[in-house]
Amino acid sequence: MIPVEYYVSLSALLFVIGGVGFLVRRNVLVALMSIEVMLNAANLALVAFNRSHLARGVGQTYAGQSHTGQVLAFFIIAAEAAEVAVGLAIVLALYRLRRTVRSDEADLLRN
Amino acid sequence: MAALGAAYFYACALLAVGGAVSVVVAKNPIRCAMGLLLLILSVAGLFLALHAQFLAAIQLIVYAGAIVVLFLFVIMLLGPAASTPNDRRGLAVRIFGGGLFGLAGLASITLVAEAARAMHRVLPMPIPDPSFGGIEAFGSVLFSDTLVPFEVSSGLLMVAVVGAIAVARGRQGSHTLSPAEQEISRRAPSIDPMRELHPSAVFSHELPEGEAKRHAS
């Protein structure tokens, strides 16, 4: 059985890779994908911690073991779908205005 | 059995890290999307190992089935403009910032791992019920303890869909186009709606003279 620490370390590593990608890349599409990588890492950590803490929580209606981390990961997935839809719409609007997908050329609000 | 589980974990972890790295370093955005797909598939595999079967299925359906396909749609829609080959300006500053973030992150991972090793297994590994993580248990939790957040998230998705349509459509029919939008609308080929609607003109105008005759006979 793999200890939960391994999953959490892997999640932290994936988060760091995604953060570096978000900081280094200038392509807006790739920056959005790096955010996806970071959110996936967060979901992995949540599910791993839920595997480690199964005790029924205080005030929990459901009679079985606690699913708190998994439910939180589920809501993160839902929020992320919304984020990607709006983000890609903004990318398309940026492309229509400036004919580019580079984030450093999106300077309409400068000055 | 334990060796098999360890091999499964390391294979999935290796694929996940490889996918994440290829998202960051690939020049072509389609390769980035494929790296993201690889990461998503291997994280779904890790969810299975963590007794989160329903979440693994959701991960495949929502991420691999919807989000990656949406990315690919936008990349195909933008065409060659989606890749930015001359990505050189400010590269040193960006690599400095990203490297600083990466070093700080790796250092904190190492420190936390060392502390965890010194404390000898701080995290327990209890035995889950057979129903744990399945669709029945997950649905029971979702519709009892987290009913209100569930309904609110459906409202969030609705608002996001309306907002995405409103942003992506642009200001069609408006008389206050910006100069860039005016230039773009001048460049677009004009389409005569009446010609499109007339039934005899639907296909015949696309064919050359001889072709049309051959089809008629």
Domain spans of chain A, in order of start: 27-54+66-102
Specify the pTM: 0.81
Question: What ipTM was reported for this prediction?
Answer: 0.93
**Cβ pair B56, B47 in contact under 8 A:** yes
B6 vs A contacts (CB less than 8 Å):
2
CA distance B58 to B166: 27
Which amino acid appears at position B51 of this protein?
A: H
Predicted pLDDT at B199: 45
CA distance B208 to B204: 8
Residues B79-127 pLDDT 10s: 888 887 666 677 788 888 889 999 999 998 888 888 877 877 667 778 8
Q: What is the count of residue pairs from A and B with beta carbons less than 8 Å apart? A: 262
CA distance B174 to A25: 35
Q: Please report which confidence band the pLDDT of residue A108 belongs to, taking 50, 70 and 90 as the band edges.
A: confident
Question: CATH fold of B1-81, please?
Answer: Four Helix Bundle (Hemerythrin (Met), subunit A) (1.20.120)
Q: Please report which confidence band the pLDDT of residue B148 belongs to, taking 50, 70 and 90 as the band edges.
A: very high
CA distance A21 to A29: 11
Find tokens 């294979």 and name the residue.
B11
Residues B35-81 pLDDT 10s: 999 999 999 999 999 999 999 999 999 999 999 999 999 999 988 88
Q: Please report which confidence band the pLDDT of residue B192 belongs to, taking 50, 70 and 90 as the band edges.
A: very low
A52 and B123 within 8 Å at the Cβ level: the answer is yes
Q: Please report which confidence band the pLDDT of residue B196 belongs to, taking 50, 70 and 90 as the band edges.
A: very low
B173 three-class SS: coil
- Within B145-192, residue ranges assigned H as helices are 147-169, 179-187
Distance from CA of B200 to the nearest CA of A (A): 35
- Alpha carbon B116 to its chain centroid, in Å, reads 33
Q: Which chain A residues in 10-29 lie under 8 Å from chain B, judged by CB atoms? A: 10, 12-21, 23-27, 29
CA distance B36 to A35: 11
B58 vs A contacts (CB less than 8 Å):
74, 77
Which amino acid appears at position A58 of this protein?
A: V
Q: Which chain B residues in 76-135 lie under 8 Å from chain A, judged by CB atoms? A: 77-78, 81-84, 87, 89-90, 94-95, 97-99, 101-102, 105-106, 108-109, 112-113, 116, 121-126, 128-129, 131-133
Q: Which of residues A80 and B2 earns the better pLDDT score?
A: A80
The helix or strand, by DSSP H or E, that contains position B175, with its residue range, turns out to be none
A7 and B141 within 8 Å at the Cβ level: the answer is no
**Cβ pair A94, A28 in contact under 8 A:** yes
B71 and A80 within 8 Å at the Cβ level: the answer is no
Q: Which chain B residues in 41-60 lie under 8 Å from chain A, judged by CB atoms? A: 43, 46-47, 49-52, 54-55, 58-59
Which residue among A12, A40, A61 sits closest to B43, beta carbon to beta carbon?
A40
A64 and B17 within 8 Å at the Cβ level: the answer is no
CA distance B157 to B150: 11
Beta bridge partners of A27: A102
